[in-house]
């Protein structure tokens, strides 16, 4: 059996499994709430592991490996903060309240919840526009990661790899909705975990053990084994915050709390998501190892795919290929659901006040999912930047818009639509302008974006909240 045939066989079997999950999920769709959030009846294991799969996608596996290749072992701190802030604290602080309040208000999306909480149609419209636009950018980073994997491991042109990935995802999302997303995510999380553990173990063995990894990297540049190392504190800390604290405002992840069965099972889910999230450390670590085994790469995003082909057998490489495709597909499918719901439910139905029957809403969601996927695909054919650069750009814009409004909707005593709108506009504009100026002082635009976005709430909402408690 040839190497390419092994890759293709494993991948075809894997994608057939995803399509089957999509078909089976479509039979369980009984209404629009099932399409958006699985009818609020998804268990803790499926919710938690689909959260992990959507969070640590091909962006982290391929893009994180690229950053590990460039900056060394200090990037492992990004994965560690991802687990603590992006997984554990997010589930403890946001999870229970989001589940409780969204059920009480009958809301099914982030813009829907914000609009209802602040009593403002403009809040819903503005947040839905920002989410829809910048999730397309995020989708590009995901497709880019999958395209590189196909390109290096199978020899399939980047173009074909991107197209194949997009077609399979668009199929199972459009027919199966959120249930297809979480169940494929649950399945994909296990593939990701096994694939990353396999690649990491074999790579360490090939170098000669952990001690040799450390000594060899130190011989190249001591900064590759120190913190903050060659990256510097500004870049390391700001990037770690955006992909950790930024999760709190990312709708494709927060929506998991809408769909879980009850507040009571969140404790179990928190433990599962913490343990599963620990795989986030591996891509950065393995990326640093690839500096030793595949030196002088012109494109750091190719570090993990090239390392995989070097150290794994065809069967092992095929399994890891499936892991990366799994990661990317899980996140891409989650993003499609959020983007389509933002356009149909939040912009058309809530914002423009279009009266749509459940059947019409379902049909429009499927159409919009396909359109968003096609636009993302077209941009991904000629992606403008490194994978994690694209990811950080989109996360900064979305999180700077939604993070504080979401937090104060859950914990604030008084909610003002004008304060919320001011926060969203200032936060998003600041992040975009800062990034347009090239992230001065090495600080990513997410940091000034969330700082400026917090000011309206701390000036006008906290004093009112304080008075109301006195």
Are the C-beta atoms of residues 434 and 449 closer than 8 Å to each other? yes
> Of how many residues is the chain composed?
470
What is the dihedral angle through the alpha carbons of 328, 246, 370, 108, rounded to the nearest 10 degrees? 120
pLDDT at 199: 92
Helix residue ranges per DSSP H, 154-302: 158-207, 210-220, 233-242, 251-259, 266-277, 281-293
- Whole-number Å distance between alpha carbons of 331 and 250: 12
Closest by CA position to 224, among listed 34, 100, 68: 68
Q: How many Å apart are CA 449 and CA 466, to the nearest integer?
A: 25
Among residues 70, 25, 460, 120, which one has the least CA distance to residue 301? 70
CATH for 3-388 is 1.20.1730.10
Domain boundaries, the chain: 3-388
The answer to whether 25 and 183 are in contact (CB under 8 A) is yes
| CA-to-CA separations, 264 to 99, 257, 341, 440, in angstroms, rounded | 10, 12, 27, 45
- Please give the pLDDT value at position 137: 82
Taking the C-alpha atoms of residue 269 and residue 50, their distance in angstroms, rounded to an integer, is: 11
Torsions phi, psi of 160, nearest 5?
-65, -40
SS3 string of 46-70?
Answer: HHHHHHHHHHCCHHHHHHHHHHHHH
The pLDDT profile of the chain, 470 residues, written as one tens digit per residue, is: 577 788 778 878 877 877 777 677 666 666 666 666 666 778 889 889 988 887 887 678 888 899 999 999 999 999 999 999 999 999 999 999 999 998 888 888 888 899 999 999 899 899 988 988 888 888 887 788 778 778 877 788 888 888 887 887 777 666 656 666 677 778 878 888 888 999 999 999 999 999 999 999 999 999 999 988 888 888 888 888 888 988 898 887 888 898 888 888 899 999 999 999 999 999 999 999 999 999 888 888 889 988 988 998 888 888 777 777 766 666 676 777 777 888 888 888 877 778 878 778 878 887 888 888 888 888 888 776 666 677 778 888 999 999 999 999 999 877 889 999 999 999 999 999 999 898 888 788 888 999 999 999 988 876 544 434 33
Burial class (CB within 10 angstroms; exposed 0-12, middle 13-18, buried 19+) of 353:
exposed
Structure tokens belonging to residue 306: 């090239």
Q: Measured at the alpha carbon of residue 235, what is the angle toward residues 230 and 238, in degrees to the nearest 5?
A: 150
How large is the C-alpha radius of gyration of the chain? 21
């Amino acid at each position: 059996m040839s190497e390419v045939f092994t890759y293709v066989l494993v991948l075809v079997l894997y994608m057939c499994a995803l399509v089957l999950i999509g078909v089976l999920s479509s039979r369980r769709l009984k209404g629009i709430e099932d399409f958006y959030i699985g009818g609020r009846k998804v268990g803790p294991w499926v919710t938690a592991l689909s959260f992990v799969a959507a969070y640590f996608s091909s962006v982290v596996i391929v893009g994180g490996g690229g950053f590990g290749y460039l900056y060394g072992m200090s990037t492992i701190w990004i994965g560690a903060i991802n687990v603590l802030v992006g997984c554990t604290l997010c589930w403890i602080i946001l999870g229970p309240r989001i589940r409780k309040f969204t059920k009480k208000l009958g809301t099914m999306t982030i813009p829907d919840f914000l609009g209802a909480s602040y009593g403002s149609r403009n809040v819903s419209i503005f947040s839905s526009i920002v989410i829809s636009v910048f999730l397309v950018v995020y989708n590009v980073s995901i497709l880019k990661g999958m395209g590189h994997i196909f390109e290096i491991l199978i020899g399939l042109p980047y173009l074909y790899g991107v197209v194949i990935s997009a077609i399979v995802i668009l199929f199972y999302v459009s027919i199966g909705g959120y249930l297809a997303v979480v169940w494929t995510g649950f399945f994909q999380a296990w593939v990701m975990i096994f694939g990353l553990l396999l690649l990491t173990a074999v790579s360490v063995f090939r170098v000669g053990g952990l001690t040799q990894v450390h000594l060899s990297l130190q011989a190249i540049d001591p900064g590759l084994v120190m913190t903050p190392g060659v990256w510097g504190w500004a870049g390391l800390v700001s990037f770690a915050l955006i992909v950790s604290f930024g999760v709190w405002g990312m709708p494709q992840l927060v929506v998991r709390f809408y769909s879980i069965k009850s507040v009571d099972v969140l404790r179990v889910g928190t433990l599962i998501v913490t343990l599963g999230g620990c795989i986030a450390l591996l891509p950065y670590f393995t990326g640093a190892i690839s500096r030793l085994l595949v030196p002088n790469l012109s494109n750091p995003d190719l570090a993990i795919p090239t390392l995989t082909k070097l150290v794994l057998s065809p069967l092992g490489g095929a399994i890891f290929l499936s892991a990366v495709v799994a990661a990317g597909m899980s996140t891409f499918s989650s993003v499609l659901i959020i983007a389509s719901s933002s356009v149909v439910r939040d912009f058309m139905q809530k914002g423009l006040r279009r009266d749509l029957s459940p059947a019409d809403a379902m049909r429009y969601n499927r159409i919009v999912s396909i359109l968003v996927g096609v636009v993302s695909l077209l941009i991904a054919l000629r992606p403008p930047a490194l994978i994690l650069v694209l990811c950080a750009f989109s996360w900064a814009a979305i999180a700077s818009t939604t993070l504080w409004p979401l937090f104060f909707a859950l914990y604030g005593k008084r909610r003002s639509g004008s304060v919320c709108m001011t926060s969203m506009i200032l936060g998003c504009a600041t992040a975009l302008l800062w990034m347009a100026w090239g992230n001065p002082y090495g600080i990513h635009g997410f940091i000034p974006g969330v700082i400026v976005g917090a000011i309206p709430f701390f000036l006008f909402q906290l004093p009112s909240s304080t008075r109301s408690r006195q």
